[in-house]
Structure 1
Amino acid sequence: MTDLLADTNVALGVSGSIAAVKVVELAHELRRHGASVRAVTTEASRGIVHPWAVEFATDVDVVTEITGAVEHVELCGRDGWADVLLLAPATANTVGKVAAAIDDTPVTTCATTALGAGVPVVVAPAMHEPMYDHPGVLDAIERVESWGVRFVDPRVEEGKAKLATEEAIVTETARVAGDRPLDGKHVVVTSGATSERLDPIRVLTNRASGRTGRAVARACYARGADVTLLHDGGEVPYAEVVSVTSTAEMTEAAVVACEDADALVSAAAISDYTVDGSDEKIRSGAESLTIELTPTPKLVDTVREEYPDLAIVGFKAETEGDDEALVGRAREILDRAGLSFVVANDASVMGEEGTRAFVVRGEDASEAFEGSKLELGLRVADELAGEIAANSN
């Protein structure tokens, strides 16, 4: 499957937080990733977002009350339509009612039914920060979590516990509702560019955006893995992030992180050279300047030497524009470092949303893959899951 939520039925419960205004875009995003969505709303939420708007976003009638058609059972019963119930946004009132098995709104009635029927539930709270910090609300969250319900932590900003990003909510929903072939596995992913310090101001780096590495990390998390992401970037909702800058820092961090890992995916565009940086700013002027470049150790070789049995996936980017040559270059690194497989792509995809790549194993190479980087990430995660399973037998 090339979508995070392919063939997934999501019942979307909307309660009366002001964050309900974001539900239209959230429903669209769920559907963009392959889900079918049916919404259930509380009376309070309908004062914030009109059911017609939600109907437009889901392309199906909205459940606004429980009638003789027993909509809660039809949606969330043991043989119901939904693969997962997503409460987004969930107010303090809704979370408290779910914890106490009170079902006096269409949303809480669906939650009671889903929990009794074993339907997975994801909750994305949104409320003012003092409400989120209330001991009773925290107790309710802890109690509901103890039942196996997954919470998507809000973004605490400006005195508010704001609804998590669409990316975080969609990814957690995919992890809960979908297949998890990497469940219980720890995957380390390197991503983006490294930077070698020339002086306190300047660096030697490359054009890599890190989109591919982040997509692989997100896909591995959605497939059930615990993910450690090594990159020169900020926090992401689907991985433990280790911030690194230089090739040496990334290599050292990879060796440490892989100590208890099941696999490494080296998707970063790691600098092949470093320099002996100056402690002072290199002064500009008319004179020419010569910089001596020193080769850096290959990260995959270093990790392979440390962990001979670890499943390692490499990435290889080239500029030649010839598929046969690209696959040949990938096969060289595959053989040299004993990799599980190598993803080969033309460097022209750096910074782009889409990609074109080959998965290279031994003498075999896949047909050219063309699609989004997230779709490629899912392909890598599924290939990796098969590799780990084969190695464990």
Structure 2
Amino acid sequence: MSDLLADTNVALGVSGSIAAVKVVELAHELRRHGAAVRAVMTDAATGIVHPWAVEFATERDVVTEITGGVEHVELCGRDGWADVLLLAPATANTVGKIAAAVDDTPVTTCATTALGAGVPVVCAPAMHEPMYDHPGVLEAIDRVESWGVAFVDPRIEEGKAKIATETAIVTETARAAGDRPLAGRRVVVTSGATSEAVDDVRVLTNRASGRTGRAVARALHVCGADVTLLHDASRAGGGPESSELPYADVVDVESAAEMTDAAVEACADADALISAAAISDYTVEAAEGKIRSGAESLTLDLTPTRKLLDTVRGEYPDLPLVGFKAESGGDDEALAGKARETLARADLAFVVANDAAVMGEAETRALIVRADEAREVAGEKLDLGLRIADELASELAGRA
């Protein structure tokens, strides 16, 4: 897995929601991204998931009571072990107590200590929907948010405010615990393939999955940026990686023209654009209805599409732009050469160049290409996203 939470100590506070059954897998997911995890449980939580199971998942002793060892201070005090306190799941009872500074469970005592010590706190609520809609609970959430606590919104399904996905929780935990060099910046990201309609049924498209663009958007969010993601939600795999991504404001587009127009509009108040999408180079005039199937040959007249980066550069001469360049075959020197042609044409900050063979794969290998250097990045696409976010942060800091 990625190094999203590398060298991060996470205190995991578990309250008595039925969603506590998911805490074992959540602890594993935090650790897979590099975190060390120590759990704190309310008495109600221990009735849902046994502390031994949580101990197994974290490989550390679980705090189930505050003793003379002042575990809350050792974990969440000013010189404590934790870099971040994650409350997952957090019940209505727990959120209300935290808002009122009531400390009658190990979890609420750790929360009060963390808030007083300036330790970042992330809260993932889970409860029945009527409880979540209670004005007192909503007021408590607003109050706690005003203190700087980051909330990971629940999924409203089947009359329940279900705990957020592990992806969303891990992402917000990493954002809260990190340095956030892109805080206050707004970045537009294009992602995935575009599709050109041939008729009411058929399209011209390509094999891009959008994994890289979504990984870049997620990494930018972790680094503190506000992210606008332009992609075709219908081709993004469904679930948390579709039209509702917890780390970006999504603009759903389909064609190259729609993506280019959306990019021009979104960049009006942006600090940078990263174009990771595999945008169609050609379009076609769509036929009305559905072209009948048959053995007859069919000729399509293809027309070049506008280059998104060139169009945005024309509208915003000073906006930092990052491009992607995919080529088939060839060595790194040839790949870097092609990337530098794009770099110069659109006056880009840098170009991410890769072999087209990695399209749709979980792992990637790419070159970060500038005018005078090309540096290799290999690993998961989220690791590439984090590297791009670091490069962009340095670029923006240098321009400032």
Tell me the TM-score normalised to structure 2 length.
0.97
Q: Tell whether 2:390 aligns with 1:382.
A: yes
1:200 equivalent in structure 2: 200
1:160 equivalent in structure 2: 160
SS of residue matched to 1:317: strand
Higher deviation after alignment, 196-205 or 3-12: 3-12
Size of the aligned set, in residue pairs, is 390
Output the amino acid matched with 1:42: T
2:284 equivalent in structure 1: 275
Q: Tell whether 2:42 aligns with 1:19.
A: no
**CA–CA distance in structure 2, aligned partners of residues 43 and 327 of structure 1:** 58
Residue-by-residue CA offset, 1:70-89 (whole Å, 9 max, x unaligned): 00000001110111100000
2:231 equivalent in structure 1: 231
Residue-by-residue CA offset, 1:270-293 (whole Å, 9 max, x unaligned): 000000110121111111111011
**CA–CA distance in structure 2, aligned partners of residues 273 and 388 of structure 1:** 33
**CA–CA distance in structure 1, aligned partners of residues 289 and 100 of structure 2:** 63
2:379 equivalent in structure 1: 371
**CA–CA distance in structure 2, aligned partners of residues 14 and 215 of structure 1:** 28
- Alignment match of 1:251 (pick from 249, 256, 260): 260
SS of residue matched to 2:187: strand
SS of residue matched to 2:107: helix
SS of residue matched to 1:207: coil
1:4 equivalent in structure 2: 4
- Shift of the alpha carbon at 1:363? 2.8
- Shift of the alpha carbon at 1:33? 1.0
1:334 equivalent in structure 2: 343
**CA–CA distance in structure 2, aligned partners of residues 390 and 264 of structure 1:** 16
Output the amino acid matched with 1:339: L
**CA–CA distance in structure 1, aligned partners of residues 346 and 269 of structure 2:** 20
Q: Tell whether 2:300 aligns with 1:266.
A: no
1:183 equivalent in structure 2: 183
**CA–CA distance in structure 1, aligned partners of residues 330 and 179 of structure 2:** 36
**CA–CA distance in structure 1, aligned partners of residues 135 and 179 of structure 2:** 35
Residue-by-residue CA offset, 1:91-124 (whole Å, 9 max, x unaligned): 0000011011111000001011111111111100
**CA–CA distance in structure 2, aligned partners of residues 294 and 324 of structure 1:** 31
**CA–CA distance in structure 1, aligned partners of residues 222 and 378 of structure 2:** 21
SS of residue matched to 1:201: coil
2:329 equivalent in structure 1: 320
Q: Tell whether 2:361 aligns with 1:348.
A: no
**CA–CA distance in structure 1, aligned partners of residues 176 and 378 of structure 2:** 27
After TM superposition, list the pairs within 5 Å mapping 1:112-151 onto structure 2: 112-151=112-151
2:399 equivalent in structure 1: 391
Structure 2 gaps, min length 5: 234-242
Residue-by-residue CA offset, 1:357-376 (whole Å, 9 max, x unaligned): 0000003111x321000000
Q: Report runs of 4+ in structure 1 exceeding 6 Å deviation.
A: none
Structure 1 gaps, min length 5: none
SS of residue matched to 1:264: strand
SS of residue matched to 2:23: helix
**CA–CA distance in structure 2, aligned partners of residues 214 and 205 of structure 1:** 19
**CA–CA distance in structure 2, aligned partners of residues 115 and 363 of structure 1:** 46
Residue-by-residue CA offset, 1:52-73 (whole Å, 9 max, x unaligned): 1111111101001101100000
- Alignment match of 2:293 (pick from 262, 266, 284): 284
- Shift of the alpha carbon at 1:321? 3.6
SS of residue matched to 1:11: strand
**CA–CA distance in structure 1, aligned partners of residues 58 and 36 of structure 2:** 8
1:111 equivalent in structure 2: 111
RMSD between aligned residues: 0.7
